[in-house]
Amino acid sequence: MSLRINDTAPDFTAETTQGTIRFHEWIGNSWAILFSHPKDFTPVCTTELGYMAKIEPEFTRRNCKLIGLSVDPVDNHARWAKDIEETQGYLPKYPMIGDTDLAVAKLYNMLPAAEPGTSEGRTAAANATVRSVFIIAPDKTIKLMMTYPMTTGRNFDEILRVLDSMQMTAKHKIATPVNWKQGDDVIIAGSVSDDDAKKLFPQGWKAPKPYLRIVKQPS
């Protein structure tokens, strides 16, 4: 199955470092970020999960839960978490899924393509998850999908930036321009007519082109 933006995120039951969860039930009325890493006790993954532990309060403040995943068993996650705290200075407190049977990885297309020239089409490395990120809205629809190669650590500040943009869009009917960050000007969504925009943004806007209506970021 090929997942697309606005598809309902596939539901599943899985074992995690915080017990068995039913994914949709666990999300509840929050936003959620599901992110996979290739392998426990590996260098790039250690830095990534440590940084997510560091900035988890920023996601919590935005009503967003975090949950990690790899094909390692839950016991490995728990032991590795101590290494993460020792080397990165932060202990992951978010749950991590032990997807040993690859069920969730296959559901979310987190596995790399099978390698040619092997009898089964897959090697052990190809059964490790790539660095995927899914942002899921409270209505359980997928709002962002990103996939990085195994050798490149992700920019989780960017994930936080995108979450800010999407939450602001949902609240204020705006879009965010290239390289936008908190406090920058925003763009009135194209779906909003000028008449409706006058009600939503009575202070007015700058319009170098009729389709490009720039306003101050709403509070």
Each residue's pLDDT expressed in tens, for the chain with a length of 219 residues: 589 999 999 999 999 999 999 999 999 999 999 999 999 999 999 999 999 999 999 999 999 999 999 999 999 999 999 999 999 999 999 999 999 999 999 999 998 876 555 445 445 555 678 899 999 999 999 999 999 988 899 999 999 999 999 999 999 999 999 999 999 999 999 999 999 999 999 999 999 999 999 999 998
CA-based Rg of the chain, rounded to a whole angstrom? Answer: 20
Closest C-alpha among 178, 168, 160 to residue 217: 168
The two domains 13-153 and 173-215 share their CATH topology (first three levels equal): no
Neighbours of 126 (CB within 10 A): 15
> Is domain 173-215 given the CATH code 3.40.190.10 in the classification?
no
Q: What is the pTM of this model?
A: 0.91
Six-digit token string for 21: 């969860």
Report the candidate in 98, 104, 101 with the shortest Cα–Cα distance to residue 77. Answer: 98
Q: What is the pLDDT of residue 150?
A: 85
Those residues whose C-beta lies under 8 Å from the C-beta of residue 5, and which sit 6 or more positions away, are: 142, 143, 144, 145
Report domain extents, the chain: 13-153, 173-215
Residues 6+ apart with CB under 8 A from 3: 10, 108, 109, 142, 145
Catalytic residues: 45
Q: Are the beta carbons of 35 and 68 closer than 8 angstroms?
A: yes
CATH architecture of structural domain 13-153: 3-Layer(aba) Sandwich (3.40)
